[in-house]
């Protein structure tokens, strides 16, 4: 199960990737919106863990582009400052789950596995 972790906080992205790997996912960390989109174009991913605030573009924009081009990729939002309203918008745009930072790894993994099952 291939997962792409997108977060501008590199340490966080790396550790998150590490922890998800321990739970059996094949994880790649990237640190901005553009490289995330580039990676998604290049290869197939089953899911994306996405921060809403990225240095080059808005997380929601990234999500919209993913949804347009790769509708089968499931998206989990992980944000440090999003409001419930933002999360609602994200869900409307097709996010499978939304989490505030810091999130529990078990819940995150469960969300990824759940949608994996659905897929």
Partner 1 sequence: MILINRLTSIADHFKPRFWNAGTSETQGQILFNYRKFWFSSITLRSLVSLVPIAILFMFTYVLENKAIRNENHLHTIRLTSNTRRALTYFFEERLDALKFIVQEEKFESLNNHESLSYILRNLQRGFGGIIDLGVINASGIQTNYAGPFDLKNKDYRNQKWFIGCARNGSYLSDVFLGYRNMPHMIIALKRATPKGSFYILRATLDIKKFVQILSSLELSEKSEAFLCNREGLLQTPSKYYGGLLNKIDWPVPEYSKHTQVLEAVDRSGNPVLIGYAYIENSPYILMLVKRNEVIMQGWYTLRKEINWIFGISVFVTLIVVLGISTFMVNKIYDADQTRLKAMERLEGSSRLISIGRLAAGVAHEINNPLAVIGENAGLIDDMFNLKKEYKDDHQLKELISAVLESVERCGEITRQLLEFARHFEPKIQPLQIGKIISSVLSFLGKEAAYRNIQIHIDIPDDFPVVDSDHGSLQQIFLNLINNAFQAMDKGGRLEIRAEKHAKGSVSISIADNGCGISEEDRQKIFEPFFTTKGLKGGTGLGLSITYGLVRKLRGEISVQSRVGTGTTFTVTLPIKHGGDVKDETLAG
Which stretches of the chain bind partner 1, using CB under 8 A? 9, 11-12, 15-16, 18-19, 22, 53, 55, 80-81, 83, 100-105
Min dist CB 46 to partner 1, Å, is 21
Min dist CB 26 to partner 1, Å, is 17
Min dist CB 89 to partner 1, Å, is 15
Cα 70 to Cα 16, 43, 63, 106: the distances in Å are 23, 11, 10, 26
Min dist CB 119 to partner 1, Å, is 25
d(CA 86, CA 119) in angstroms, rounded, equals: 25
Q: Which is nearer to partner 1, 94 or 99 (CB)?
A: 99
């Amino acid at each position: 199960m291939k997962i792409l972790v997108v977060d501008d906080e590199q340490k966080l992205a790396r550790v998150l990737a590490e922890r998800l790997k321990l739970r059996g996912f094949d994880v790649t960390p990237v640190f901005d919106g553009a490289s995330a989109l580039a990676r998604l174009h290049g290869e197939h991913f089953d899911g994306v863990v996405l921060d809403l605030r990225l240095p080059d573009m808005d997380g929601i924009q990234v999500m919209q582009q993913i949804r347009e081009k790769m509708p089968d990729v499931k998206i989990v939002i992980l944000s440090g400052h999003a409001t419930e309203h933002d999360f609602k918008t994200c869900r409307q745009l097709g996010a499978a789950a939304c989490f505030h930072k810091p999130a529990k790894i078990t819940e995150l993994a469960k969300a990824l596995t759940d949608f994996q099952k659905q897929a």
